[in-house]
Chains A and B, each alone.
Chain A
């Protein structure tokens, strides 16, 4: 007898586990398929915070979990002082004033405006990919002037929104870098304003494990097990659909299960599983690009820029870098001035990533996939960028490893996307994934 499920969640990250546990607890029947790659035992970098409502639903207080907020968002430009913003609005205002940024008085209003903008029901529901009443919500939005204005700003570019608010180019570059770099978007792209407003959500501020106690991933796995989620820890071979309510997922040992919905908590999980093409509105999420993560082991601790080793750092030369890098990535080229995000892990490793690599390369009028030389070049590129902001880095590197996600693979288990739901890239993947799966459960019943 083949097992039947409401949801098959594919992925092994915190967002997937949270979504699975919450859905199971809400009464759905859920299975998790861990991706083929086994999770490497490494010092975790910053991750999305667990919003309070999920904390309560999963009773995470029972597990002695402690998480630290990332201390600051810092942008390191080619020249001049770093620009720093902090979790508190007033602290940020003061920091900006100290840094001589003339627009500091506007920060508070900007944050409030950006948060209010994110409150666009139409765009939020249309971008989630969940079933919803498109016509009615379109009519509602068109009939309400301020809702329509919000939707229009969200559908515009991040750059236009920032130009309307600020004059200081460094501040604009800083905001754009932190808001857009995680999803690899360009500042001038229509729709990039959406990522910007998402970033001003309270939950968007990332957290980091304290290094004591169990990791969030372990705890969530246990929560899933306790809740009764079925976990399949083997590679998925193929997914097929006979057009009925259920899709059949077949594992590499020929075990089968049937599920109503295949759920990806993040676009990265979908890309990993070869289902990147199933995402709706792929362009709003920075599709067409791959993400490279480089971990650098050092022989000694490095001095953190801005004297803050708990911050998230962005490296850009100027505000236009993001769009240029995005343009290069989707045209199949390596960007010249690669935006790189990095942090210093508790054990002193540097974890650097950039979502501005091409998913496929375009060379000599041909599209081609990633080669090992490309991986080397990407790692080199990121190391160079790190070196430009961390003097002396080159001399203390012991080892660097690179991991690429989102690169286009030749064959995909997902020929048909019906019944496949992919949560678009959000600053807080956990919160977004749980909200989406909740909405789908409500929609079902």
Chain B
């Protein structure tokens, strides 16, 4: 009975998220409340299940803040490390945005390539990937799309292919690192992988995929953009990147903090500092250096997303505690007959297709206990399944306008500036690119891990 109710709550949560009538954080919070009261309280009568799912005791342990490997022991319930890290990054990014960092970077690159549209197209794709490795893709696309629109008006080119390419590359770049995309943060913190583990595994495959994607987008659109370059008026007044900087001191400070965050993340397996520690440290550093503006920065943090995560982890905890996810893992194990090729195929394509149509964060959170059980039952290498899951959920989300948050933000900015992008137009470009990258990932995983 508890299993049926837990599944019911989970399905209801997904349906309500898809219907988009009630804010997501309210949905997950209410479903979390129902899981605690009905599933754990009434049906299981298990205070221990509630306590394990809330996972509050993990925050008080030394391992939560220091030594990443051991912190991964508790994969059940609320993943506080993910929440603390995302909070820290949100504070840092707010500080950077306020100082004009992103606009300055975009304009500097455009100037460096002499405002040639084809070169902007390629460099913005690269920049989108690189920034998304460290910063959430929503912020990357928000600024990149805004500058792309500005340059499109100025240089008279169609910004739609460029925005779709930037979105695609942001999602791809996010798959390269542990902090690039929420599914990776959840996978990394839950299974105890470090930043460098991601870079040397998903990062390498994302790098190969990026080359394929650059060639794909270049072949599709270089003629159109070359025409824009050839027909450019001579009297165009180009913007000065320096004008983007709103405050020189804040700009310098936020750049240094960003640099520190990157160094801490890259070295966290060596230093032993966990992502939870890094997130909180960066947030404190940003707040301390921003002085009077600290309260403003804190107010701008997207707490709704953090609440969404808390609720989501409890609902998935309900599935875990009632054993539903073990049943799913057993089912996948039986279909695949323990064959690693089949397991990778199922996880890759099912995760990618699901992530293209539903939010990839709840999907990844649900899949983690499944792949963990699958690995222990069939003896398959857990890391292979983890890299497959990360790549599939991150890249699958690029296929449709609703697959990932960056897609929604990018298409929204374009529509506001006079270029609405419907499903047809988006998928015509992004779907073939997604299939191409998934094929690259599939072959890479087979060759390297199977």
Q: Do A and B come from one complex?
A: no
B residues with a Cβ closer than 8 A to A are: none
